[in-house]
């Protein structure tokens, strides 16, 4: 598995280097339309190699996708937390019931039946356990 992961990263690095080498031309990226730029206090633009703009766009897309999914799945995380809390409450209640049941006085018939499963006493008329 480690070799497959290493091979994947090597291939990815080679592809990214080839894309960067093929797109070294300088481009200007404007953040605002030219008609709106004077109202914003100047020209908001950056000059950079094309591969940098491409990689920044990919990183921006991944971040937007991560945030979108995190927000979309928030109700699932909330439901999971509610169920985990409910399970913890039930386990706590079961522990409490087991403690009170073990400490409660036992019925004589139930005590005899519980002891019947153990090795019979000598002279017992009960059949041997199977």
Backbone angles phi, psi at 26, to 5 degrees: -80, 135
How many residues does the structure list for the chain?
130
Reported as a pLDDT band with limits 50, 70 and 90, residue 65 is: very high
105 vs 38, residue with greater confidence: 38
Helices (H), the chain: 2-22, 50-72, 74-103, 108-116
Lowest-confidence segment of 32-36, 73-77, 123-127 by average pLDDT: 123-127
Q: What is the pLDDT of residues 115-127, one digit of tens each?
A: 776 655 555 666 6
Question: Comparing C-alpha atoms, which of 31, 24, 26 is closest to residue 48?
Answer: 26
């Amino acid at each position: 598995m480690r070799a497959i992961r290493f091979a994947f990263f090597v291939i990815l690095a080679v592809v990214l280097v080839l894309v960067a080498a093929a797109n070294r031309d300088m481009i200007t990226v404007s953040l605002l339309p030219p008609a709106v730029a004077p109202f914003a206090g100047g020209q908001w633009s950056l000059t950079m190699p094309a591969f940098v703009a491409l990689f920044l766009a990919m990183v921006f897309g991944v971040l937007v996708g991560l945030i979108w999914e995190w927000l979309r799945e928030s109700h699932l995380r909330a439901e999971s937390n509610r169920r985990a809390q409910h399970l913890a409450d039930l386990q706590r209640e079961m522990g409490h019931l087991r403690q009170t049941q073990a400490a409660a006085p036992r019925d004589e018939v139930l005590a005899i039946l519980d002891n019947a499963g153990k090795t019979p006493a000598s002279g017992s008329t009960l059949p041997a356990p199977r």
